Amino acid sequence: MKRSTINELIAEAIDLFDRYNFKLPPFAFWSPQTWSEKGHEVDPIRDHCLGWDVTDFGRGDFGQFGLVLFTLRNSKSYAEKIMVVKENQITPMHFHWKKTEDIINRGGGNLILELYKSTAKELISEESFSVVCDGLIVNCSPGEKIVLKPGESICLEPYVYHKFSGESGKGTVIVGEVSSVNDDINDNRFLEVLGRFPEIEEDEKPIYLLCNEYGNTEI
């Protein structure tokens, strides 16, 4: 991805969150210069990969396969993210070995999730299964599609394959995630082999650093 694209996407996300009155913490707006001046007092942010995360999943087509995230907290037992999902923009099929997560439509359009249970060999299962949506048990067939409207949520247990996208014609979705501890390096099992963090073409200077860039504070 081009750095100019990443800068633009983060600016769009900030504007979207502001319009919906979702306020980000101060470190969301730190410049690379500010990061270069920080010491061990910010180790909890660095160590838990808090902050901006923009990915095209190694596909090179952010409009079709992509996600903008901001990780707000990620302690030893719980985590919270806020995400931007555009219409028809896919987060590819994956599950987590350890993480249980609630996916919440915080506002905007509708979020479509496609769900499967995993087999013991971590392939797509043809078995039925169940999930919990806003406290209600929902029985699912393989490939079940669940639409979350603003305010609605779903709880996904480990080994439940899921991909999601914004519903066409309904607008960009602000998606929240509340989960057990998050480890994007070791706890993502994509059905296809994909890259989690993008290779970046530095066509302009970064306005904000991504969560995997805190060790690189050259400006």
Per-residue pLDDT tens for 158-175? Answer: 999 999 999 999 999 999
Amino acid at 18: D
Report the half-sphere exposure of 15 (CA within 13 A, side-chain side).
7
Amino acid at 94: H
Note the pLDDT of residue 83.
98
Q: Could you give the number of structural domains in the chain? A: 1
CATH code assigned at 11: 2.60.120.10
User: Which ranges constitute the DSSP H helices of the chain?
Assistant: 3-19, 32-36, 43-47
* 196 in a structural domain: no
* 142 in a structural domain: yes
Note the pLDDT of residue 69.
97
pTM equals 0.93
pLDDT higher than threshold 80 for residue 216: no
Note the pLDDT of residue 93.
96
Note the pLDDT of residue 75.
87
Q: Which residue has the tokens 């996300």?
A: 13
* 69 in a structural domain: yes
* 181 in a structural domain: yes
With bands split at pLDDT 50, 70 and 90, how would you rate the model's confidence at 219?
very low
Which residue, 212, 216, 198, 206, is CA-closest to 10?
206
Strand partners, 166: 87, 111
* 86 in a structural domain: yes
The contacts found for 21-30 with CB under 8 angstroms, 24 or more apart, are 22/82, 22/106, 22/107, 22/174, 24/70, 24/72, 24/82, 25/72, 27/51, 28/52, 28/70, 28/208, 29/208, 30/208, 30/209
12-64 tens-digit pLDDT: 999 999 999 999 999 999 999 999 999 999 999 999 999 999 999 988 899 99
* 205 in a structural domain: no
Rounded to an integer, the average pLDDT of 151-157 is 98
Domain that holds residue 112: 3-190
Which whole-number Å values give the CA distances from 200 to 7, 168, 212, in the listed order?
Answer: 11, 29, 12
90-138 tens-digit pLDDT: 999 999 999 999 999 999 999 999 999 999 999 999 999 999 999 999 9
39 phi and psi angles, rounded to 5 deg: -115, -145
* Under 8 Å between Cβ of 136 and 155: no
Note the pLDDT of residue 193.
80
* 207 in a structural domain: no
183-208 tens-digit pLDDT: 988 999 999 888 778 889 999 999 99
Give the CA diameter of the chain.
53
Residue ranges of E strands in 45-110: 51-55, 67-74, 79-85, 91-95, 101-108
Q: Are strands 91-95 and 189-190 parallel, antiparallel or unpaired?
A: antiparallel
* 173 in a structural domain: yes
